[in-house]
Amino acid sequence: MSTTRPITDFETKDVLIQSALAALAISFIAAIGMLEEFNNRILITSLLSLGYLAIGWVPILFGYRASTEVAIEGVDPPVKGPRDLFVGGTVGAIAGVVVSAFAWLASSVDLTGIFIHTGPGMQSVLTFGQGIGFGSLLMIVFCTVLGIFGASLHVMSPTLRSIIGVALGTTIVIAIFEADVKELFKGFRVRGATSLLYTPTGGLTIVSAAAIAALVTTIKVYGKGHGPNAVYERVKQHHTNQSPEIRRRNSWLWGAAGVAVYLVTPQILGKSLSETAVTVGLFLVLGLGLNIVVGQAGMLDLGYVAFFAVGAYGIAMLTSPFRPAQWIPQLDFWVALPIVVIVAAFVGILVGTPVIRMRGDYLAIVTLGFGEIIQKLFLSDWWKPVVGGAQGITNVPSVSIGPVEFAGANSKMVFYLVAILVAGVFVLSHRLQYSRVGRSWAALREDEQIAEAMGINTVTSKLLAFSIGAVIAALGGALFAAKVGSVFPSSFKLLVSLVILVVIIVGGLGSLRGIAVGAIVLIGLLGGPTLPGLLREFGRFKLLIYGVILIYMMLKRPEGLLPSVTRSRELHHSEMTQDAWLDKAGDFEEEEGVTT
């Protein structure tokens, strides 16, 4: 029978560890300048800034973690109550004390030689602008209250927890994406609505924030059974019960609706959101191409950006009137594109041939070297008469279809081209994944020797994966060059390859839907290596956040956000096999102990 535990019944060591981690996280966020920079961004007037949100989640998280208990099979968990609130508050209070001590240290000793952002600005934010004495007390109260709130999530009923989470989350999201919400309202021709939500200086008003939270709560409470999942299930069930003739007719209707959405979307999104969508689309194309090599064929390629560069430079060399090699004939984009595709396929085979017998880390190192070699060649004086060296190639003409020009400066028009490319590559990837070639790649990924014994031509399969991946990257590079209007070696650094790899890892290796989600989450929100995302304030810290997300995914969800069924089964099967081996080893040791 479950009982309520005494308020002091907790592991002191665990509480101290969680407190130390919380204090370290807050101090780190402050020391790298994130807190001070984000504090200039107001989310809710006179109530919340992005800076305090950046540190506010920390005591909530660690207060929640400290009051989380491991479920023991066969033992009823204790009833959550005051003990959990006390633990969460204790974690927050200790963290607040340590953070206050850090603020005092920064005010007493000049730490800017080590951490350049620990000056008066950071100290003022950590003490709420009230000085070290009273400000430290406010920080302790701030962390304690949030720690209690984090622990109270265990005490609440699941329904209440869901309502509070959705209401707070929606309000904060609308506050963070203020510029994008305004642009959407502008696209829908309802500009006046933004003045009701946001103040002229930026941020939600307290009244509008409360109204949004109340509206979301009402929908959550009274809209039960009418959410997206429920609607999807009803539509799916209705579709299943229909006759084939009606299904065919409805498929045409859905297709027409899709075309209408495709045509209208960039006009509604506006220039900024369309630009972000174009960036997401290009990285999604690259992610789908790399997924063929890494996710389907199981070959870790760290130099994938080289194929992207081949496509971009190929189009620039064949279409730009200012190309360094004037002996190369100037062609139209659509005439040059097939040539670029053929060259990219050849380069893919050229790269794949020397590494055909390599796998794992060795393959990754060799492809990494190839990616670096390509960039250095584009920078070298040897190739300067052809590719322009560090000056690159400028005045790359935009894409035209008859009288319609898809100018790079007009992101709304480029959106249409990118959307077509994404759809085409998505269909190609899906067909390949479930084709005979895709099954041979899956066999290669699992065990190359067994695949060869089954009669699969491993050499042909690997070269095919490299060449198809190279062609897809080259298509993305060609469109990138036409959109930007110029190509430079600095646009094709190793970092681009790593970001593409992070996209498919976060989304889910081998999962086409997962890669789309990964591109939207990472590129859409944070942006590419040099391109901004929706969260423009995170620009200086995007690489740090990339790393944190990657580490978390590897530790907690290695299969990705939307994993493929096969990949998820493989990972969990490996874990179960390892656990079974450990159990057997433990049983064997116990038997030996009994025998002796």
pLDDT tens track for 81-100: 788 899 999 999 999 999 99
The span from the CA of 557 to the CA of 568, in Å, is: 10
Contact yes or no for 120/103 (Cβ under 8 A): no
What pLDDT is attached to residue 474? 95
Q: Is the pLDDT of residue 583 over 60?
A: no
Report the pLDDT averaged over residues 466-484: 93
Q: What share of the chain has pLDDT > 90, as a percent?
A: 37
Residues 6+ apart with CB under 8 A from 281: 415, 418, 419, 421, 422
Record the tokens describing residue 40, joined without a space.
């200039």
Comparing CA positions, the residue from 120, 144, 130 lying closest to residue 59 is 144
Q: Is the pLDDT of residue 249 over 90?
A: no
What pLDDT is attached to residue 239? 59
Q: pLDDT of 383-433, one tens digit each? A: 888 888 888 888 899 888 888 888 777 788 888 899 999 999 999 999 998
Most confident among 19-23, 126-130, 447-451 (mean pLDDT): 19-23
The span from the CA of 94 to the CA of 110, in Å, is: 24
Report the pLDDT averaged over residues 343-366: 85
> Which residues are registered as beta bridge partners of 198?
204
Q: How confident is the model at residue 595 (pLDDT cuts 50, 70, 90)?
A: very low
The span from the CA of 281 to the CA of 58, in Å, is: 33
Report the pLDDT averaged over residues 299-318: 91
Cα atoms in the 13 Å half-sphere on the side-chain side of 41: 20
CB atoms under 10 Å from CB of 62, counted, come to 29
More confident residue, 111 or 145: 145
Calculate the average pLDDT of the chain: 85
Please tell me whether residue 393 adopts helix, strand or coil conformation: strand
- The DSSP code for 529 is S
**492 to each of 6, 239, 316, 370, 515, how far by Cα in Å?**
60, 46, 14, 12, 21
Global pTM? 0.86
Comparing CA positions, the residue from 398, 422, 297 lying closest to residue 348 is 297
What pLDDT is attached to residue 54? 93
- Look up residue 81 and give its amino acid: G
